[in-house]
């Protein structure tokens, strides 16, 4: 059995460089193959990441096939960046993702923010 170095292993896992990732089309659901193409992460790695990252949820429909939504595609790109570009471990990436999530806003905070938006719109449209 031949031992591979980590760079060779990463190159095998990654399909395309980050700079060349295609735009995400405007559609509701993506198959695992489409997500693989959009993120540059192989399908078997995506299935593994589903076990490692609780935030990465797919919808199973029609014959138990995996479908992902737009937010999951973005999350896979974020995980890929943390692991491959920033050098995080799985544990470190998981912690970073948990720290990235803002605390839920209270109803009062939402009202204040909406009122500020309305005030800004009134000023922008020239209403008194």
Residue 123 lies in a domain: no
Owning domain of residue 92: 6-102
Nearest 5°: the CA angle 61, 63, 68 is 35
Residue 35 lies in a domain: yes
> What's the total number of domains in the chain?
1
DSSP-assigned states of every residue in the chain: -PPPPHHHHHHHHB-S-GGGPPPPPS-S-EEHHHHHHHHTB-HHHHHHHHHH-TT---EEETTTEEEE-HHHHHHHHHHHIIIIIS---HHHHHHHHHHHSPPPPPHHHHHHHHHHHHHHHHHHHT--
> For the chain (length 128 residues), average pLDDT per consecutive 10?
48 54 90 95 95 87 86 95 91 87 71 88 80
Q: What is the pLDDT of residues 42-78, one digit of tens each?
A: 999 999 999 999 889 888 777 888 899 999 999 999 9
**Predicted local confidence at residue 19, as pLDDT:** 58
**Predicted local confidence at residue 105, as pLDDT:** 67
User: What is the Cα–Cα distance from 118 to 125, expressed in whole angstroms?
Assistant: 10
CATH number, domain of 11, equals: 1.10.1660.10
**Predicted local confidence at residue 104, as pLDDT:** 61
Residue 126 lies in a domain: no
Residue 82 lies in a domain: yes
**Residues 37 and 22: beta-carbon distance below 8 Å:** yes
pTM: 0.64
**Residues 43 and 17: beta-carbon distance below 8 Å:** no
Residue 20 lies in a domain: yes
Residue 89 lies in a domain: yes
Residue 127 lies in a domain: no
Residue 64 lies in a domain: yes
């Amino acid at each position: 059995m031949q031992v591979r170095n980590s760079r060779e292993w990463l190159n095998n896992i990654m399909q395309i460089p980050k700079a060349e990732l295609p735009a995400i089309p405007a559609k509701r659901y993506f198959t695992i193959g489409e997500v693989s193409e959009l993120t540059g992460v192989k399908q078997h790695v995506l299935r593994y990441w589903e076990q490692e990252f609780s935030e990465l949820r797919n919808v199973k429909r029609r014959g138990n096939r995996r479908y992902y939504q737009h937010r999951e595609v973005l999350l896979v790109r974020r995980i890929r960046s943390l692991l491959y570009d920033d050098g995080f471990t799985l544990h470190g990436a998981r912690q970073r993702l948990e720290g990235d999530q803002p605390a839920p806003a209270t109803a009062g905070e939402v009202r204040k923010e909406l009122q500020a938006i309305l005030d800004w719109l009134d000023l922008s449209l020239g209403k008194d």
